Amino acid sequence: MCGIAGIFNFSSPVKPIREGNLKNMLSSIRHRGPDESGMYVGNNIGIGNVRLSIIDLAGGQQPLSDCSGRYWIVYNGELFNYIEIKKNLEKKGVQFHTNSDTEVVVAAYAKYGAKCLDKFNGQFAIAIWDKKKQELFLARDRVGIRPLFYTKHKGSLYFCSEIKGIFENPEIPRVISPKGLSQVFTFWAVISPNTPFRDIFEVPPGSYILVDRKGFKINKYWAWSFLQKDNSSKQNLEESVEELRELFSDAVKIRLRADVQVAAYLSGGLDSSITTSFIQSANPDILNTFSIGFKDKAFDETGYQLEASKYFNTRHFAYPVSDEEIAESFVETIRHTESPILRTSPTPMYLLSKKVRENNIKVVITGEGADEMFAGYNIFKEAKIRRFWAREPKSAIRPLLLSKLYPYLPQVRGAKLINLKFFFGYKLSETGNPYYSHLLRWHNTSRIRNYFSGETQNGLSGYDPMDEIDHFVDPAIKNWGNLEKSQYLESSIFMSSYLLSSQGDRMAMANSVEGRYPFLDHRIIELASRLPDDFKLNGLNEKFILKKMMGGKIPGSILKRSKQAYRAPIASSFFGNKKPEYVKEVLSNKELTSTGIFDPYRVGKLIERMEKGPNQSEMDNMAITGIISTQLLHGLFVNNKPKVYPPSYLPNLRIVRETNT
């Protein structure tokens, strides 16, 4: 796993790049690749890489070319089926000089062009320079596991694995986008290809970009696809279980390919227990597993984690996290998320990856994606119950089903019927709306926008984030079943833009740890999308087919336990006995006024409620987290100027200069 960066001056006349700027870009993301670094420099192009060496430790240094020397690559990711692709290319006469997957990627591009992406099973961000055509190719994996950002400014394209690298170029404006904030405070994430910063974009998941002096073109090579509305399939459950078992077994096996030790996260839930079970089957040697716990028992799952560890006989490392530690590390969390967030949940993942790295482990396998692919989240059940309720809106019994979904929410736990109807009844009858499953969540989250200052509101000029959704979603959504609509929205927005970024790649790579996700193997995704609804959500029994597959293979208590949402303390972290100084500072009238994003009076009232405790509402917790993280984001990226890194900061730097041969 690595980090990549580059500058392409595509305008005429040819303008040489500033090598010092490229070095600074790479230095800013050294945490992604502390082992080696390299640059390829031409007349108007510079691409570079910092490397976390995992496959072919000795021979995989980048930049690296195909056998002809025409194509040069810097690459962040893993191509899990590189062995199979390499064998096919060798049959076609391609020669290789290393054992790295990077060389397979560039050789496949030289042979097949952009169509090589259809053959890849992996998680990646790729940059390839075609020396002959003077063309830059940028690509990202199907669901956006690995990040890749870019901006165009005065005839130049800048790209980097993280936004902070782009900001190392002094000419790039650093401005937080009010529209981006408005999207975060509605959907929990910015809608691709936008980011929280004005004129900074991401390469969308499942897409590639071609840039030359004639133009700039974005192309889609993969998209989510689901069953049609009438999905009462004739599929046999047992046959589907076996197909899933076979595919998932292979997805795990190829993700164990590494020249370093591989560990696993073991949360105590179904998903991580499944991955651990399959890892043990593929490699019976003792497995290192890691878990995070909370000293606040309302959030803690340590008992299930230890039970699973004992069952699988793993060498387990359990780390309890205090409220104070979450608060202390929250600034670093935002430095790496590069986005406002509405919960503190990424911070414990940051602390956990730190412990993994302290144990000299670079790779962990995790269970992300199972909830999205197999309908594990409560939002899928909620939508099903609300549709059931909408058929008899005056029912006094049907709304009561919703009270069982969120026992951790004070406003839901033990709520009276009238309160449940008020809380869950938003647009209840609009069942024909393709966004029906998420309308309630988005509506509730959008209330955070009430804290915007008049200046921010004026800058939005009546902008409605829902307009962004209309442009983003696949028009085919109208043909999909109700559950599939929900899965699409959850996967393409929440998972790709928030979960895999803020809780996944960024928190792991902050400590030079690579996460691998077998449930996000594209073959598993495509299989899950073809399954009938009741194979995934059977009544209100989530991940039904996974439970069928794992009967007798994981602890029964974990197999039968209800889904517990992963959450972390908020109010007690920011407003506990040891309130951090930075919280006081960023929430002060002076700082709020200076930043100009939020209304100091309204934020002050929110602070009063948070300090009263102990049963703050979920919305107040999310609002204060969003405000603190936005204030920190402004301080870290808008106010700060580019750094000057010493030449020795890049490890083992190798520079390749372009020649005409």
Report the chain's mean pLDDT, rounded to a whole number. 93
- Give residue 440's pLDDT band: very low, low, confident or very high (50, 70, 90): very high
Q: What is the DSSP letter of 481?
A: -
Question: What's the whole-number mean pLDDT along residues 616-634?
Answer: 96
pLDDT score of 529 more than 90: yes
Distance CA 653, CA 39 (A): 8
pLDDT at residue number 579 = 87
Indicate the pairing of strand 514-516 with strand 363-365.
parallel
Residue 236: pLDDT band with limits 50, 70, 90 = very high
* Residue that wins the pLDDT comparison between 407 and 540: 540
- Band the pLDDT of 230: cuts 50, 70, 90: low
For the chain, percent of residues with pLDDT exceeding 90: 82
Q: Whole-angstrom Cα distance, residue 541 to residue 545? A: 10
Peptide bond connecting 465 to the previous residue in cis, omega within 30 degrees of 0: no
d(CA 322, CA 345): 13
pLDDT at 405: 84
d(CA 509, CA 515): 8
Helix or strand run (H / E) with residue 501: none
Average pLDDT rounded to a whole number, residues 362-386: 96
pLDDT category at 439 given cuts 50, 70, 90 is very high
Whether the pLDDT of residue 415 is over 80: the answer is no
- Catalytic positions: 2
Place 660 in a pLDDT band, splitting at 50, 70 and 90: low
Q: Are 80 and 65 in contact (CB under 8 A)?
A: no
Question: Most distant CA pair in the chain: distance in Å?
Answer: 78
DSSP reduced 3-state for 168: coil
- The pLDDT assigned to 640 comes to 81
pLDDT at residue 229 greater than cutoff 70: no
One-letter identity of residue 420: L
* 302-312 helix and 270-282 helix, angle to the nearest 10 degrees: 20
- The per-residue pLDDT for range 395-405, each reduced to its tens digit, is 988 988 888 78
With 90 as the cut, is the pLDDT of residue 111 above it?
yes
Which of 74, 79, 99 lies closest to 8, judged by CA?
A: 74
Predicted pLDDT of residue 167:
97
The residue behind tokens 């999905």 is 231
Alpha-carbon span 54 to 362, nearest angstrom? 8
To which H or E segment does residue 451 belong? none
231 pLDDT more than 60 = no
For the chain, the first-to-last Cα distance in angstroms comes to 30
Q: Which segment of 101-115, 317-331, 400-414 scores lowest on mean pLDDT?
A: 400-414
**How far is the C-alpha of 126 from the C-alpha of 102, rounded, in Å?**
10
Q: What is the pLDDT of residue 168?
A: 95
Interatomic CA distance for residues 12 and 167, integer angstroms: 24
Cβ 198 vs Cβ 178: under 8 Å: no
pLDDT exceeds cutoff 90 at 391: yes
With the CA atoms of 603, 507, 167 and 328 taken in that order, what torsion angle do they form, in degrees rounded to the nearest 10?
50
162: nearest Cα among 5, 341, 332: 5
Query: pLDDT value at position 45?
Result: 97
Given this model, what pLDDT does residue 659 score? 81
Helices (H), 283-377: 302-312, 323-337, 346-358, 370-373
Per the model's pLDDT, the better-predicted residue between 371 and 613 turns out to be 371
Distance of alpha carbon 587 from alpha carbon 630, whole angstroms = 11
Over residues 260-286, the mean pLDDT reads: 94
Q: What is the pLDDT of residue 537?
A: 96
| Closest to 516 (Cα-Cα) out of 89, 187, 55 | 55
> Do residues 101 and 79 make contact, with C-beta atoms less than 8 angstroms apart?
yes
Q: Where are the alpha helices (DSSP H) in 1-129?
A: 19-28, 82-91, 101-112
CB atoms within 10 A of CB 280: 19
pLDDT tens figures, 545-584: 999 999 999 999 999 887 777 889 999 999 988 889 999 9
Whether residue 661 is predicted with pLDDT greater than 60 in this model: the reply is no
**Angle at the Cα of 430 from the Cα atoms of 381 and 537, rounded to 5 degrees:** 20
Q: What is the pLDDT of residue 419?
A: 79
Alpha carbon distance 566, 499 (integer Å): 11
pLDDT for position 57 = 75
pLDDT at residue 1 greater than cutoff 70: no
φ, ψ at 8 (rounded to 5°): -130, 110
Q: Tell me what the mean pLDDT of segment 365-388 comes to.
A: 96
Q: By percentage, how much of the chain surpasses pLDDT 70?
A: 98
What domains lie within the chain, and their CATH numbers?
2-222 (3.60.20.10), 237-374+489-560 (3.40.50.620)
Query: Helices marked H in 210-345 — which ranges?
Result: 237-255, 270-282, 302-312, 323-337
Q: Residue 541 pLDDT more than 70?
A: yes
pLDDT in tens, 142-174: 999 999 999 999 999 999 999 999 999 999 999
**Res 20: pLDDT:** 94
Based on its alpha-carbon atoms, the radius of gyration of the chain, rounded to whole angstroms, reads: 24
